[in-house]
Structure 1
């Protein structure tokens, strides 16, 4: 994590903690939502971040939780962006034959099994719905 992001997380923690060494669930939810995370996802993040089951997070727990979540969000956005390069109609779908051609011939090609696994998740009516694949891969709804 870069130092700018670290400082941003520390500043958010300090602002909402009022000088205390921890944040409770309500305070955490407010902060997390300020970073663009949906309420339901914020609640799940808090449960995941509260590894001690204490009902609060200290600054280290908070920074760890936020850096994991935001790195995951960046990776998710990068994957959607890559798929969008093939979605010239801007329909959030790519014809299955075009996607298959690209994924077996460009960059690090997928083998037949890998391609079929992807299509099993996202193919409907000859179209690859790439957001379905991204959601399945990352295990949550996009914010």
Structure 2
């Protein structure tokens, strides 16, 4: 649990010291209607939790997919170099059959914010707003 807290503290410090910038406007932003399903897989930091929420979870409900799409589209680009562990591996499958892979760090601590990293650019992180983190936490942990 300490490793998890230290990981999130690093993210918060990097964002606070380096400042957060908006996500590039020319990046493609998925809509919930573009997404067929989202698959979350419990990664190393998740498996080290006292009670991991699941091994794998397939998300297909429209409301849940919309919450993920909104969180991704409104995430703030972080400045600086990332140093992070992985809670969940996330694979998004689109209606056209294409797939994107991400790291999604949402823990069950109500005072933390989420981290999103596209594996195509694993050095660039995005912070997920407190409100969006709460929504995703509810979907993931049932809180």
Normalising by the residue count of structure 1, what TM-score does the alignment of the two structures yield? 0.22
- Structure number with the bigger relative contact order (C-alpha 8 A, sep ≥ 6) is 2
Specify which structure has the higher proportion of strand: 2
